[in-house]
Amino acid sequence: MCKPGQPWDSGYFEWLAHAKVIIVLLSENYFKSNACKREFKQACNCVPDPRVLDKSVIPIVVSELSFKYPNADPNCPADLKAELNQRNCFPDPSQGHLMCDFDNNMAAVVGLVQSVLGHGP
């Protein structure tokens, strides 16, 4: 991790490259943040093919959105919308968000993570 006073992003993105599962917590304001946009872009660069089984980016919708789907966020750049279109969000935003049924949704997230980790070396 980074030391106090040092840039956080270099250490964070270095560790991100080694992750088997990258969980991105999407909220109403996620794509308003330049740091969050960089995070999502780097996560997708680390897992360029969402069909691989041993590594995954899991976008999780944590709270209610004012738009139907995260890729409809007016603050989400076109290249990141294309990445979102390739990766299913959890839960399906038309069915609600993580906090709607936290216990059951978290159990499902754990299952998603375990399924990815089960395919690793």
pLDDT at 96: 94
Cα 114 to its chain centre, rounded Å, is 16
121 pLDDT more than 70: no
pLDDT at 1: 60
How many residues are present in the chain? 121
pTM of the entire predicted model = 0.90
Dihedral sign for Cα 79, 8, 49, 110, please: negative
Cα 51 to its chain centre, rounded Å, is 15
pLDDT at 92: 93
11 pLDDT more than 90: no
The rounded distance, in Å, linking the Cα atoms of 86 and 96 is: 20
Give residue-wise pLDDT tens across range 51-105.
999 999 999 999 999 999 999 999 999 999 999 999 999 999 989 999 999 999 9
Place of tokens 């691989």: 52
The whole-chain average pLDDT of the chain stands at 92
Please give the single-letter amino acid code of residue 112: L
For residue 89, give the nearest of 36, 27, 29, 39 by alpha carbon: 27
* For the chain, domain boundaries: 8-117
15 pLDDT more than 60: yes
Residues 32-57 have a mean pLDDT of 95
